Amino acid sequence: MSIIADNNEFQNNTIMEKKKHSVIKPECSDNDRNFENSIRPKSFESYIGQTALKETLKISIAAAKKRGLPLDHLLFYGPPGLGKTTLAGVIAEQMGVDIKITSAPALERPRDIIGILMSLKGGEILFIDEIHRLNKVAEEILYPAMEDFFLDMTTGKSQTVKTLRIPLPKFTLIGATTKAGELSGPLRDRFGIIHRLEFYTEEELARVITRTAGILNIEITEEGAKAIAKRSRGTPRIANRLVKRVSDYALVKHDGKITKDIANKSLDILKIDNFGLDNTDRSLLKLIIEKYDGGPVGIETIAAAIGEDVRTIEDVCEPFLLQSGLLQRTPRGRKISPAAYRHLGYKNGEINEQQCLF
C-alpha cells in the first residue's frame, strides 16, 4: 500500500542540513520538526492538496530537465503549516538534486550566507525559510548570486579596496514566506516563479490524516479522519498534530482506534471547537467583542491584552480567522464579523451561555 511506501520513503530523511541551518519557526518545536520530517511526502503523488500548484510545478520541472538547466528561482508564500518546506523537498527529489535548508534568521552575518552559497554544488536547491526576515547585507549578497551566479566580494580598505567576482555553480533558490508583502521589491523580482499555497479542504486534510495515521500505525476510521479534518483549520501541520493527540486519548481511554466519537470527545477536551479555533483564537475574538465593541482595534493592543506576541497573532492565528471570515482587517485595526458573534454564541451583544462552546 502507498502508506507503507511513504513510510519507507522517509526513513532516511536527510532534508535538514547542519543544525545551524535547521528551520526555526515560532510555532514549531524541535519535536514537532522531527515528527514533521518523519512523515513528509517525497513525491507529488504522495503530496496531497495544492493540486493546481503541483501541476504547474511539474511543467516547470519537466522544462528545466529538458533544457538541462536548474529550475528558476521559486518563491512560495502563504500561511504557516501548509507544506512549503515539504514541497521544496518534493521538487529536489523530482529534479534529482540535493537540497540545503536554512532560514533567514540563521543568516545573520555575511559569512553565513556566503558560506552556504559557496557550499552549493551545481543544480542544488537552497531553501530559505522566512525569507522576508533576511537582512539588507544578506539580500545584497544574494542579488548577483541569484541573477548571474556570482559572489561579489570586496577586500582591502578605502583606497586599496578591490572587488572580486567569485563564480558560483548554477543553483535554484526556493524562498518561503508567510509575508510576501514584506519582501523587498528587488528580491521579489529575482524570483522567476511565484506561488501562493492555499488552505486545504476538509477532504484533503482527511486524506493527509489517514496517510499520517498509516505511517504511525494508528488505526483510524474514515469518519474519525473527517472529524479531525473538520477542526484542523485547513492546515496539514495542525491536522498531523491533532492525530497524535487524539491517538493518545484513544489509547488511554479506549482501544487505540480513532473513531468519530473518540475524535470529537478528545478534541472537545483539547478545547478545539468545531471551527478548529483554540483558546487563543477565542480569547482574541472575545476581547474585541467585549472590550472594543467589535472593533476596530490595533494589533498591538490585542497582543498585549491576550498575552501573545504580535508576530504569533499575525502569522499563526490571523490567517485562518481572516480566511474563514470571522475577523476583518481594516486600515484602523481588526474588526469582528457577524459570523464570529454567531460562532461564539453572542446574541444582541450578549453571550448566550447555552450556545457558548467553551
What residues line the site for ligand ADE (CB under 6 A)? 39, 41, 47-49, 83, 86, 208, 211, 236, 240
Residue that has been written with the C-alpha cell 519537466 in this structure: 62
Shortest spacing between CB 315 and ligand ADE, in angstroms: 18
Q: Which is nearer to ligand ADE, 130 or 204 (CB)?
A: 204
Question: Can you tell me which residue has the cell 498509516?
Answer: 214
CB of 44 to ligand ADE, least distance (A): 10
Nearest-approach distance from CB 59 to ligand ADE, in angstroms = 19
Q: Which is closer to ligand ADE, CB of 49 or CB of 319?
A: 49
Phi, psi of 295 (to 5 degrees): 90, -175
Residue 217 φ/ψ region, left for φ over 0, alpha for ψ in the -120 to 50 degree band, beta for the rest: left
Nearest to 294 by CA among 250, 251, 327: 327
For ligand ADE, the closer CB: 35 or 292 = 35
3-state secondary structure of 101: strand
98 is catalytic: no
Active site residue 129: yes
In the block, cell 474519525 appears at 224
Give the active site residue among 40, 207, 237, 241: 237
DSSP string, 235-285: -HHHHHHHHHHHHHHHHHHSSS-B-HHHHHHHHHHTT--TT---HHHHHHH
- Is 211 in the active site? no
| Closer to ligand ADE by Cβ: residue 177 or 240 | 240
Which CB sits closer to ligand ADE, 83 or 295? Answer: 83
Shortest distance, position 36 Cβ to ligand ADE, whole Å? 7
Query: Annotated catalytic residue: which of 86, 102, 177, 178?
Result: 178
Terminal C-alpha separation, the chain: 40
Q: For the purposes of burial, counting CB atoms within 10 Å of the CB of 266, is it exposed (0-12), middle (13-18) or buried (19 or more)?
A: buried
Which residue of the set 25, 40, 42, 84 is catalytic? 84
- Which residue in 6, 129, 273, 281 is the catalytic one? 129
Shortest Å distance, C-beta 166 to ligand ADE: 38
Active site residue 85: yes
CA distances from 317 to 81, 114, 242, 333, 342 (A): 12, 35, 17, 15, 19
What's the closest the beta carbon of residue 230 comes to ligand ADE, in angstroms? 17
14 is catalytic: no
Q: How many helices (H) and strands (E) does the chain have?
A: 16, 11
Nearest to 149 by CA among 173, 174, 127: 173
In the structure grid, which three cell numbers stand for residue 195, read together?
506561488
Which of residues 70 and 89 has its CB atom nearest to ligand ADE in the complex? 89
Residues designated as active site: 84-85, 129, 178, 237
